[in-house]
C-alpha cells in the first residue's frame, strides 16, 4: 500500500532528519547521450536537457572515466517523506542555506529530497538544516 508523504510544511520541517551521505558527487553533462549511454557510469541521477544528458555521479566515477566537472558536492538526504505536491520546502531550505552563504542544488525523489552542497560546506549545511528542524519542532 502506498502511503502519501507529508504536505504540511511545518510538519515536514519539524521532521527533516538530514543525513550526510558518504562520498562526493558531481554533476556532469554528456552531450549527444541518452540515459542508456550513461548506465555504465552508475549514475545516481539522470536528467535529459536540450543541451545534453545531465548525470549525477560519484566523483570517482567521473574521474575514472575522464568526464569533466566543475565542483565537488556532498549529498544531504532529508529523511522525511514529503509529498511531491508539498509547497514551500525547497524555498525554506534554499533560504536557510543561502542566508549562510551555502549553495544548494535540490533534487526531489519520490520519497525524499536530496540537497547537493559544495563539499567544504557540507557539515555546516547539515547543522543549518538541523537548526531549521529544531526551530520548526519548537513551534
pLDDT per residue of the chain (139 residues) written in tens, 0 to 9: 667 889 888 999 999 999 999 999 999 999 999 999 999 999 999 999 999 999 999 999 999 999 999 999 999 999 999 988 889 999 999 999 999 999 999 999 999 999 999 999 999 999 999 999 999 999 8
Residue 139 confidence (pLDDT): 82
Residue 2 confidence (pLDDT): 67
Sign for the pseudo-dihedral over CA of 23, 27, 32, 33: positive
1-23+75-139, CATH topology level: VC0802-like (3.30.2130)
Residue 1 confidence (pLDDT): 62
Contacts (Cβ under 8 Å, ≥6 apart) of 78:
16, 17, 18, 19, 93, 112, 113, 114, 115, 129
Residue 83 confidence (pLDDT): 85
Q: Where are the domains of the chain?
A: 1-23+75-139, 25-71
Q: Are 52 and 30 in contact (CB under 8 A)?
A: yes
What CA–CA distance (Å, rounded) separates 67 from 134?
Answer: 40
Amino acid at each position: 500500500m502506498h502511503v502519501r508523504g507529508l504536505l504540511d510544511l511545518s510538519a515536514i520541517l519539524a521532521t527533516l532528519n538530514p543525513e550526510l551521505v558518504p562520498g562526493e558527487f558531481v554533476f556532469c553533462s554528456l552531450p549527444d547521450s541518452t540515459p542508456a549511454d550513461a548506465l555504465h557510469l552508475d549514475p545516481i541521477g539522470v536528467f535529459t536537457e536540450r543541451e545534453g544528458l545531465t548525470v549525477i555521479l560519484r566523483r570517482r566515477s567521473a574521474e575514472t572515466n575522464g568526464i569533466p566537472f566543475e565542483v565537488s558536492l556532498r549529498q544531504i538526504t532529508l529523511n522525511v517523506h514529503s509529498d511531491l505536491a508539498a509547497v514551500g520546502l525547497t524555498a525554506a531550505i534554499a533560504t536557510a542555506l543561502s542566508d549562510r552563504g551555502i549553495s544548494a542544488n535540490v533534487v526531489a525523489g519520490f520519497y525524499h529530497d536530496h540537497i547537493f552542497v559544495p563539499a567544504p560546506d557540507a557539515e555546516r549545511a547539515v547543522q543549518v538544516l538541523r537548526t531549521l528542524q529544531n526551530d520548526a519542532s519548537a513551534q
